[in-house]
Amino acid sequence: MRDPQSAVVQDRLSVSGSNSSRARDIAYHLHPATDARLHEKIGPLVITKGKGVNVWDEDGREYIEGLAGLWSVAVGFGEERLVSAATRQMEQLPYYHSFGHKSHPSVIDLAEKLATMSPVEGGKVFFANSGSEANDTAIKIVWYVNNAKGLPKKTKFISRKLAYHGITIGAGSLTGTPWNHRGFNLPLSNFLHVSCPHYRPADAESSEEVFADHLADELEQLILAEGPETIAAFIGEPVMAAGGVYVPPATYWAKIQAVLRKYDVYLIADEVITGFGRTGKTFGCETFGIKPDMMVLSKQLTSSYMPLSALVVSDEIYQRLADQSHAFGAFAHGFTGSGHPVAMAVALENLAILEESDLVGNAARLSPYFQERLRSFLGHPLVAEARGCGLIGAIALATVPENGEQTPPGLLGRLLNDACLNRGLIVRAIGDAIAFCPPLIITRDEIDEMFRRFGRALHDVHQNSTWRSVTVAATSPK
């Protein structure tokens, strides 16, 4: 019976010659989010070209990019308008900074654009280069402002288990995925985590609303146990994405916000993945009725054509920050690339494309069909759950399949990820869940083709008997 390991992976195993791109990558490149020893053996999948929802590797193989790169390429690959916007800005002003009262036209234009479209009241916008940097900035601003308010004990942050908020020391402490903490001495103290709002209708003993009551009570009990005078902020993604795609139950956000208001706790909305149309609204906050004090943006802001993130802060926070900066002589925080002119220009053009092409509307119109196709795999022997919202979703795999023998953690996810590559589809395996997050330009026909390829990959893994005989001891991750 055919090995489920993909032909793509098999080709990567056959690294020939020290000058091949694969061999040089192994020799010199330390990859993020990668098993370094395994990488030494199999090498990379080298992507050389992209157009629309498709990318091609160096051997000419075509793939549907079912995760939009890293949840981010809203307008698709090869968008000439973004290339032209970057080129024009490079020719006019390739770089300038925002330190010490300096500015430039494109940073002013984008700050105005984001402040006026954001649901944050009276927002001011700070620019960084990644979601992690923006979330670290949010942490520092909350501490800075609470010190200005005479509340130096109000330093603790509450996040959620399986949340993903970045990978730097501060943002990594907000993150609630344990595999991002192992070996790094994270999370730091003062970073707390409550339950993931994962409601499973199939095995639930109560309604969504009752489950939401339980989660809100858990949050309130944690605040009371720690002392309300010590809790600074709560951070949450409107839909939890990179930890496995979890959609909150009905009434969840309303009840969570009521608890936060009761104890004067700031709410930070992490819209790094959900922002700019992913849920069928411009922001996930609109989809779920969230009124944040801060909002973190990145990824689809530039469709990741340029590194960029933004933190939008409320007027109340800004006024406290401004007073404190005046007392100290400066707001002593920033990055060399904060407000980079080329990133600003690309973001402005990207937002123009989103609006002119009605890509938020496209996500809203296609969402029911996308979710229907996602859930069409329910009933398959290897599928335990399908979940999602808008144009984002995940299929959780059954780790106790027909023979009743527990599958080693992550094994099915890895096998299906490779089988998808073999069928010309790039997805994201998050443990034993497969995530989908296609570019917002995707069409109904392309959704059909994406799930057709996934269905074939699922069939490939199911028909293969090799994985069923693998023991937990031999294959469990160390």
DSSP letters for 328-397: HTS-----TTTT-HHHHHHHHHHHHHHHHTTHHHHHHHHHHHHHHHHHTTTTSTTEEEEEEETTEEEEEE
Beta bridge partners, 77, equal 52
pLDDT of residue 378: 96
pLDDT of residue 75: 98
Backbone dihedral angles phi then psi of residue 346, each to the nearest 5 degrees: -65, -40
pLDDT of residue 404: 65
Give the span between the Cα atoms of 281 and 364, in whole angstroms.
7
Higher-scoring residue by pLDDT: 370, 473? 370
The region that residue 435 occupies, defined by phi over 0 for left and psi between -120 and 50 for alpha, beta otherwise, is: beta
Q: Check: CB of residue 127 under 8 Å from CB of residue 114.
A: no
The SS3 of residue 246 is strand
Strands 231-236 and 156-160 turn out to be parallel
pLDDT average, residue stretch 53-59: 97
**At 206, is the pLDDT very low, low, confident or very high (cuts 50, 70, 90)?**
confident
Q: Check: CB of residue 147 under 8 Å from CB of residue 324.
A: yes
Question: What are the angstrom distances between the C-alpha of 245 and each of 77, 176, 179, 220?
Answer: 24, 13, 16, 24
Q: Does pLDDT of 1 surpass 50? A: no
Q: Does pLDDT of 2 surpass 80? A: no
pLDDT average, residue stretch 293-302: 98
Going by the DSSP 8-state scheme, the letter that residue 68 receives in this structure is H
Q: Class assignment of domain 80-356?
A: alpha beta
pLDDT of residue 11: 57
pLDDT of residue 412: 93
Higher-scoring residue by pLDDT: 242, 19? 242
pLDDT tens-digit map of 231-271: 999 999 999 999 999 999 999 999 999 999 999 999 999 99
pLDDT tens-digit map of 21-39: 999 999 999 999 999 999 9
pLDDT of residue 409: 87
pLDDT of residue 392: 98
Q: Does pLDDT of 402 surpass 90? A: no
pLDDT of residue 19: 85
pLDDT average, residue stretch 153-160: 98
Going by the DSSP 8-state scheme, the letter that residue 52 receives in this structure is B
Kindly report the average pLDDT of the chain as a whole number. 93
CB proximity list for 23: less than 8 A, separation 6 or greater: 15, 16, 17, 43
pLDDT of residue 478: 32
Burial class (CB in 10 A: 0-12, 13-18, 19+), 208: middle
Give the span between the Cα atoms of 72 and 266, in whole angstroms.
27
Q: Does pLDDT of 110 surpass 80? A: yes
CB proximity list for 157: less than 8 A, separation 6 or greater: 139, 142, 173, 174, 190, 191, 192, 232, 233, 234, 235
pLDDT tens-digit map of 269-281: 999 999 999 999 9
How much of the chain, in percent, has pLDDT values that exceed 70? 92
Cα 36 to the chain's mean position, in Å? Answer: 22
Structural element, H or E, at residue 51: strand 47-51
pLDDT of residue 175: 98
Least confident of 47-61, 84-98, 392-406: 392-406
**At 474, is the pLDDT very low, low, confident or very high (cuts 50, 70, 90)?**
very low
Q: Is there a cis peptide before residue 307, judged by omega within 30 degrees of 0? A: no
Q: Which of 386, 370, 174 is CA-nearest to residue 272?
A: 174
Domain with CATH 3.90.1150.10 in the chain: 7-75+359-469
Q: Does pLDDT of 475 surpass 80? A: no
pLDDT tens-digit map of 319-371: 999 999 999 999 999 999 999 999 999 999 999 999 999 999 999 999 999 99
pLDDT average, residue stretch 449-460: 97
pLDDT of residue 8: 55
Q: Does pLDDT of 296 surpass 80? A: yes
What CA dihedral angle connects 172, 173, 178 and 184, to 10 degrees?
Answer: 70
Strand order in the sheet with 392-397: 383-389, 392-397, 433-436, 428-430
Backbone dihedral angles phi then psi of residue 285, each to the nearest 5 degrees: -60, -35
Q: Check: CB of residue 118 under 8 Å from CB of residue 283.
A: yes
How much of the chain, in percent, has pLDDT values that exceed 90? 88
Angle at 430 between CA 429 and CA 434, to 5 degrees: 50
Give the span between the Cα atoms of 171 and 169, in whole angstroms.
6
pLDDT of residue 368: 98
CATH of 7-75+359-469, one of 2.160.20.60, 3.40.50.970, 3.30.70.420, 3.90.1150.10: 3.90.1150.10
Give the span between the Cα atoms of 264 and 293, in whole angstroms.
11
Domain with CATH 3.40.640.10 in the chain: 80-356
Cα 304 to the chain's mean position, in Å? Answer: 12
